[in-house]
Amino acid sequence: MKFLFINGVNLNMTGRREKGVYGTRTLDQINKDIAARFNGDECVFYQSNIEGEICSRLHAAADEGFDGIILNAGAFTHYSYAIRDAISSIDTPVIEVHMSNVHARDEFRHMSVISAVCKGVIAGFGEGSYILAAESFKL
C-alpha cells in the first residue's frame, strides 16, 4: 500500500514542546518508526506550518496513487475550512489523527471541522495513532 502522512502546524516541534502531551521523540524519529513498521509499504511524510501548503499537498496527492492519507492537522483541525474543503475535493480517503486525546484537553480542541469529511478519527494513542490509522486501511 501507499500512504501519505501529513503533519500540520507545530508538529515539527514534537519532542521539544509540551513533552507531557506529545512525548520526547521528534517527528523525524516517529516517522522513521512508522516507515520501519510498514516496511513493505510506501510511506511518504510531509509536514508544513502553512495551511495553504497542506491544501496543495492534499490536492497533489489525489493524482499520486495513494491508498490513504493520514492527517494530523494540529490546531488547523479546529478552524481550517480550507483544509476541510481540500479533503472534500479529493477521492483519496483521509483519516484524521491526533497523538493526544483532544477531548481530555482544552474545550476548543473538542471541535474538529475536518472530521465530517474524513473516513475516521483516531486520537489519544500517541505515536500509535498514526500506526492505527495506517493499519485501518488494510482492514
Please identify every residue annotated as catalytic.
22, 98
Count of alpha carbons within 13 angstroms of residue 90, beta-carbon side: 25
Greatest CA separation for the chain? 40
User: Quick count: other Cβ atoms within 10 Å of Cβ 21?
Assistant: 12
Alpha carbon distances (Å) from 13 to 27, 28, 48: 8, 10, 11
Contacts of 54 (CB under 8 A, 6+ apart): 6, 8, 48, 73, 76, 83, 86
C-alpha to C-alpha distance for 136 and 138, rounded to whole angstroms: 5
